[in-house]
């Protein structure tokens, strides 16, 4: 049995898509908890919003946007590979996905400041 090539761009795209999906799934309960603070009253939600202005939280927010973008573009890449006849362009699709993810994260970062 031969193991997949671990240095191939498609393997890294696969790995990034899976890891980003897992990390986003782990983030989801925290997101629901944050939304739940709004139900507990305006003062509690305002306190939570003040906490979100901390630099470390802003950095985590940028990471979250990059994860979302990576998962989105990775999924679009998979759809293109599945439904379009671009099979030989897979390396280009991987590069475009990675570039679009980073660009979205940078646009978000620039919007913060």
Say which residue the tokens 């940028």 belong to.
62
What is the per-residue pLDDT for 23? Answer: 92
pLDDT tens per residue, range 14-32: 888 899 999 999 999 988 9
Sketch out the chain's domains with CATH numbers. Answer: 9-112 (1.20.1300.10)
Give phi and psi for 24, each to the nearest 5.
Answer: -65, -40
Compute the mean pLDDT over every residue in the chain, rounded to the nearest whole number: 83
Structural contact between residues 30 and 83, judged by C-beta atoms closer than 8 angstroms: no
* Integer-rounded Cα radius of gyration of the chain: 18
Over range 38-49, report the average pLDDT: 87
The pLDDT of residue 89 is above 80? no
pTM of the model: 0.66
């Amino acid at each position: 049995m031969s193991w997949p090539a671990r240095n191939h761009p498609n393997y890294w795209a696969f790995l990034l898509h899976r890891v980003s999906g897992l990390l986003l799934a782990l983030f989801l309960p925290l997101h629901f908890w944050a939304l739940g603070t709004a139900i507990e009253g305006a003062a509690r939600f305002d306190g939570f919003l003040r906490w979100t202005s901390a630099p470390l939280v802003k950095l985590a927010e940028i990471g979250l946007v990059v994860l979302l973008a990576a998962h989105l573009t990775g999924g679009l890449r998979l759809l293109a590979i599945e439904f379009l006849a671009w099979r030989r362009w897979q390396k280009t699709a991987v590069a475009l996905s990675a570039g679009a993810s980073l660009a979205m994260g940078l646009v978000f970062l620039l919007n913060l400041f």
